[in-house]
Amino acid sequence: MLQRLTIRHFTLIDELDIELGRGLNIITGETGAGKSIIVDALLLLFGERGSAEYVRKGASKAVIEGSFVITGNKFIRPLLQEHDIEHDGEELILRREISEKGTSRSFINDSPVPVGVMREVGAQLVDFHGQHEHQSLLRSEAHVNFIDNFEGVSGRLEKYHELFERLRKQLHERSNLASREQSLREQAEFRRFQLEEINHLNPQRDEEESLEQELALRENAEQLYDLTYRLATLLYDAEDSVRDRLATAKNILDELAQIDKDFAEYRSECQSALAIVGEIAKFSQSYRDTIEFQPERLEEIRYRLQQLSRLRKKYGGKEELFAKWEELRNDAELAENFEAAKERLSAEIEETRANLAKAAQMLSEQRKKIAAKIEKTIITTLQTLGMPHIRFAVNFSREIAVESGSDELFVVIDSERVVAYPNGAEKVEFLIAANPGEELKPMARIASGGEISRVMLSLKAALAESERLPMMVFDEIDTGISGRIAQKVGKTMKELSKHPQIIAITHQPQIAAFADTHIMVEKRQTATSTRISAVVLNEEERVYEVARLLSGEEITNAALESAKELVKAE
């Protein structure tokens, strides 16, 4: 649940600090007072796109922070662990900052996170119902998403989607294989020439570097021979060589050390110098012996490097050359085995298609179990919301695939080729009949605004029972309903809030009267500024606010008495 919401420098809000409670949290206020700004702030906190327009004029940034109690939320902790977010205890703090330049930063427990992670976490903390989702009930293609929100569906849906993507990839691969076969046949002679050319030269990956090093040595063979000869002579072979001089110096140090032990250390150093000179001279002599004067090898290296350079430049570089060589070899092998490759891929496709059909049936079975429960819950709830004759059904249908080829995304179920969609092999649609004698029809054709609001509330009631979400936000759930029905809606929301915490914006006094926590939003304007404030009302203030909702600006005694009765009745 959300226990505290802090908003600073956000549009018309200078600073708000709201404490929310368990159960039903109602937000009321005059039209235009800024109630929806609070919902906008919540949406931003949970990862909606931000912009500089949200920053209050004169401020450097807008900040929205929410403190959540996540006790019992089994979805959040694995998610935090997956993204290496430190968490200790039962409190989770989310913060979003929008700068005056429009850039944003997101934090969870003071650790910076990408906004996508904020969105993932938010999806496990809250369920928003606003006008956009309200309209989704009128789009049949969105109905399956309501079913899939229930526990028990996601695992089967993931398995289905994995197989669906595998089939799509395999079909695409087979299509590409056919195109490549045609292309390779058209270019067979040229590609064969390219492969033979590279095969004939048979380049090795580090060959050029090795040859260039050898070339440098062979081009300087005479100089190397001369220098190593001079070095060996100077150090060891000449009369009065460095070695002879060091040997004389060492003998002198021996005599000195016998007189003064301080020279002993330098005697050993001189001995080391003699050894080093000997090693250098020995290496110079052996190196000189390995030097070969082979003009034909020199020309051979130069010619080989020219060939390698020409081939490398022809294909755009060394890595490109080896990539092309690999491609040509693979294509040559493929050209000889096209039929076998196509047969192998076709067998894999049919296996995946069969597994996808099984996954589609298992997904459909689980959806139908959920749908049966939803139908009962929605009908029961709608009857309590003033629709005694309501009939509601979840309709499942399949689309037969036209036999125009083998590369379509279809599965075979009950001996029929059925179109496979990314989310299943069926269409799901909500049907409703509000009055006796009416046939079940799509919601978009017959449902009024008030009926849609009640159906949505019923769906949320069914969803709450699955314990998927600890918090729900309703932005004007009372659209299109009368005062009598509003009281039943309020009662249903009150009952629903025993499962998740609910935050609801309403204009209906009959709904507001059921609040466990009642927050009133006010907008104060002066000649130079506009500010929005929000306060949690006490019992007396609650009655007064419900009375205002009943009678408007002029609050009569009768309105106050009616408000007391409403608040007392809840």
pLDDT for the residue 429: 92
pLDDT for the residue 342: 79
pLDDT band at 519 (very low <50, low <70, confident <90, very high): very high
pLDDT at position 523 over 70? yes
Average pLDDT, the chain: 85
Token reading at 566: 């409403």
What is the per-residue pLDDT across 309-343, written as a single tens digit (0 to 9) for each?
899 888 888 889 999 888 888 777 666 667 777 78
68 lies in some domain: yes
Check: CB of residue 453 under 8 Å from CB of residue 488.
no
Helix (H, G, I), strand (E, B) or coil at 561: helix
34 lies in some domain: yes
* Alpha carbon 59 to its chain's center: 31
- My answer on whether 220 and 314 are in the same domain is yes
pLDDT for the residue 532: 86
What is the per-residue pLDDT across 62-91, written as a single tens digit (0 to 9) for each?
999 999 988 877 778 888 888 888 877 788
318-336 vs 338-384: helix axis angle to the nearest 10?
A: 90
pLDDT for the residue 289: 82
Identify the domain boundary among 309, 333, 357.
Answer: 333
- Range with the lowest mean pLDDT among 296-310, 406-420, 476-490? 476-490
Give the residue numbers spanning the domain of 84: 1-138+468-537
pLDDT band at 296 (very low <50, low <70, confident <90, very high): confident
Beta pairing partners, 525: 530
Average pLDDT of 162-186? Answer: 83
- My answer on whether 96 and 218 are in the same domain is no
Contacts of 32 (CB under 8 A, 6+ apart): 523
Question: Is the Cα torsion angle 557, 560, 562, 565 positive or negative in sign?
Answer: negative
- Range with the lowest mean pLDDT among 143-152, 382-391, 525-534? 525-534
pLDDT band at 418 (very low <50, low <70, confident <90, very high): very high
426 lies in some domain: no
Q: How far is it, in rounded angstroms, from Cα 325 to Cα 490?
A: 73
- My answer on whether 548 and 514 are in the same domain is no
Check: CB of residue 127 under 8 Å from CB of residue 469.
yes
pLDDT band at 36 (very low <50, low <70, confident <90, very high): confident
Contacts of 449 (CB under 8 A, 6+ apart): 479, 480
Identify the domain boundary among 333, 350, 374.
Answer: 333
- Range with the lowest mean pLDDT among 307-311, 551-555, 560-564? 551-555
Pair type for strands 127-129 and 104-108: unpaired
What is the per-residue pLDDT across 441-475, written as a single tens digit (0 to 9) for each?
887 776 566 677 788 788 777 776 655 566 888 87
pLDDT for the residue 516: 93
pLDDT at position 145 over 90? no
Angle at Cα 384 formed by Cα 381 and Cα 386, nearest 5°?
A: 115
Pair type for strands 441-442 and 471-475: unpaired
Helix (H, G, I), strand (E, B) or coil at 449: helix
Residue 81, CA distances (Å) to 75, 84, 110, 121 in order: 11, 5, 15, 11
Q: What is the DSSP string of 487-508?
A: HHHHHHHHHHTTSSEEEEE---
Which secondary structure element, helix H or strand E, spans residue 131, and what is its range?
Answer: helix 131-136
- My answer on whether 204 and 98 are in the same domain is no
pLDDT band at 50 (very low <50, low <70, confident <90, very high): confident
* Alpha carbon 413 to its chain's center: 33
Per the structure, the count of domains in the chain is 3
pLDDT for the residue 334: 67
pLDDT band at 405 (very low <50, low <70, confident <90, very high): low
Average pLDDT of 231-238? Answer: 88
Check: CB of residue 501 under 8 Å from CB of residue 537.
no
Q: What burial letters (b/e) apply to 429-465, b meaning 16+ CB within 10 Å?
A: bbbbbbeeeeeeeebeebbeebbbbbbbbbbbbbbbe
- My answer on whether 213 and 321 are in the same domain is yes
Q: Output the domain CATH number for residue 64.
A: 3.40.50.300
- My answer on whether 14 and 128 are in the same domain is yes
Average pLDDT of 428-444? Answer: 87
pLDDT for the residue 62: 94
403 lies in some domain: no
Check: CB of residue 416 under 8 Å from CB of residue 428.
no
- To the nearest whole percent, how much of the chain has pLDDT over 70? 93
pLDDT for the residue 445: 74
- My answer on whether 128 and 9 are in the same domain is yes
- My answer on whether 117 and 43 are in the same domain is yes
Pair type for strands 416-419 and 410-413: antiparallel
| Helix ranges, 399-538 (H) | 443-446, 449-465, 483-496, 509-512
Residue 291, CA distances (Å) to 210, 214, 301 in order: 17, 12, 16
Q: How far is it, in rounded angstroms, from Cα 168 to Cα 174?
A: 10
* Greatest distance between any 2 Cα atoms in the chain: 131
Q: What is the dihedral of CA 543, 548, 554, 557, to 10 degrees?
A: -30
49 lies in some domain: yes
pLDDT at position 365 over 90? yes
- My answer on whether 202 and 317 are in the same domain is yes
317 lies in some domain: yes
- My answer on whether 544 and 529 are in the same domain is no
Identify the domain boundary among 333, 360, 390.
Answer: 333
- My answer on whether 122 and 204 are in the same domain is no
pTM reported for the whole predicted model: 0.62
What is the per-residue pLDDT across 256-294, written as a single tens digit (0 to 9) for each?
988 888 888 898 899 999 999 989 989 998 888 878 777
- Range with the lowest mean pLDDT among 13-27, 124-138, 240-254? 124-138
Q: How far is it, in rounded angstroms, from Cα 194 to Cα 331?
A: 12
pLDDT for the residue 336: 66
Token reading at 63: 């900040």
CA atoms within 13 A on the CB side of 360: 28
Average pLDDT of 34-58? Answer: 88
Helix (H, G, I), strand (E, B) or coil at 320: helix
* Alpha carbon 214 to its chain's center: 52
How many helices and strands (H and E) does the chain possess?
Answer: 20, 17
93 lies in some domain: yes
pLDDT at position 171 over 80? yes
pLDDT at position 135 over 70? no
- To the nearest whole percent, how much of the chain has pLDDT over 90? 30
215 lies in some domain: yes
pLDDT band at 348 (very low <50, low <70, confident <90, very high): very high
Contacts of 27 (CB under 8 A, 6+ apart): 35, 38, 503, 504, 505, 506, 519, 520, 521, 534
Q: How far is it, in rounded angstroms, from Cα 419 to Cα 171?
A: 15
- My answer on whether 54 and 124 are in the same domain is yes
pLDDT for the residue 157: 94
